Amino acid sequence: MWILLAVCSALGLGFYDVFKKLSVKGNNVLLVLMLNTLFGTILMSPVIVGCVAAGHWGLGDTLAGHFRILLKAFIVLGSWLLGYFAIKHLPLTIQGPVNASRPVLVLVGALVVFGERLNALQWAGILLGFASLFLISRIGAAEGFSLRGSRWLWMAVGATMLGAVSALYDKYLLGMYRPLEVQAWYSLYQCAIMSAVILLMRRFAPHAAGAASKFSWRWSIPCISLFLTAADIAYFYSLSQPGAMISVVSMIRRGSVLVSFFYGVVVLRESHVRAKAADLLVLLLSLGLLVAGSGV
């Protein structure tokens, strides 16, 4: 059951990436992100209202629980900020594979943080994953997005690393709290943090690039929250199932790259398709080895 939920989450994430690209292209990234957190909070508000109506605040009714979720909100928001700017300026066929390498980093994190021991297939998958990142950086350089000179590519890498940290933290949180409560409260905290960031920037740095960019409303913006919320609900319930493995769930979710890659090739007509497709095959082989090595 948890594998099926992870597949549903991957499909949701694929469409989430497409709607992100449509929303931030030529638009104010900070306001798009703030609206995303607002709509996400509205979608999850029945959970918070239900908690309050029942006379408690969820998360064990402890300050420690809410501080843990607040920390998750900061981690995810940092990943989103970097990721939104990256997807605005990078082709989907570059940003997608970079983001899809997250399971490699999750497995490395599990090795370093939790002391997990990896088998030969998992090591082979990790090495191929890093080879895929090297290949996509070479392809990006041909389009003017090299690691040496492109801050947008570095932002994509940073977003992926923070996303891996968040994935490792999720497994810890979901061992203590209900999935819907985690999602609802971190959505609310994200909205509050993002609103404060925008107010502070407009007050103290009104001419900064992120604050001064022109904003235009697009119906793709609420679709970001809709597909992300659906993907996250499936993800959290997947992780909460007995026997669910964060490394495998994270790998399956990165299958979302197929949706965004297809959109980038067919609709956006992005360049160097053959080279990027070859890199994507290396990445998918890497994920396949990681899944096989995990015994699934």
Convert the pLDDT of each residue in 136-145 to its tens digit: 766 666 666 6
Convert the pLDDT of each residue in 205-262 to its tens digit: 666 555 557 888 999 999 999 998 899 888 888 877 877 776 677 777 777 777 877 7
Please report how many Cα atoms fall inside a 13 Å half-sphere around the Cα of residue 262, on the Cβ side.
8
88: pLDDT strictly greater than 80: yes
For 58, the token pair is: 């969820």
Cβ-proximal residues to 205 (8 Å cutoff; 6+ apart), any chain: 211
How far, rounded to the nearest angstrom, does the alpha carbon of residue 290 sit from its chain's CA centroid?
19
Convert the pLDDT of each residue in 45-84 to its tens digit: 998 888 888 777 778 778 888 999 999 999 999 998 898 8
State the DSSP H helix or E strand holding residue 4, giving kind and residue range, or none if neither: helix 2-24
189: pLDDT strictly greater than 90: yes
114: pLDDT strictly greater than 80: no
Is pTM beyond 0.85? Reply is no
Which percentage of the chain shows pLDDT scores above 70?
Answer: 86
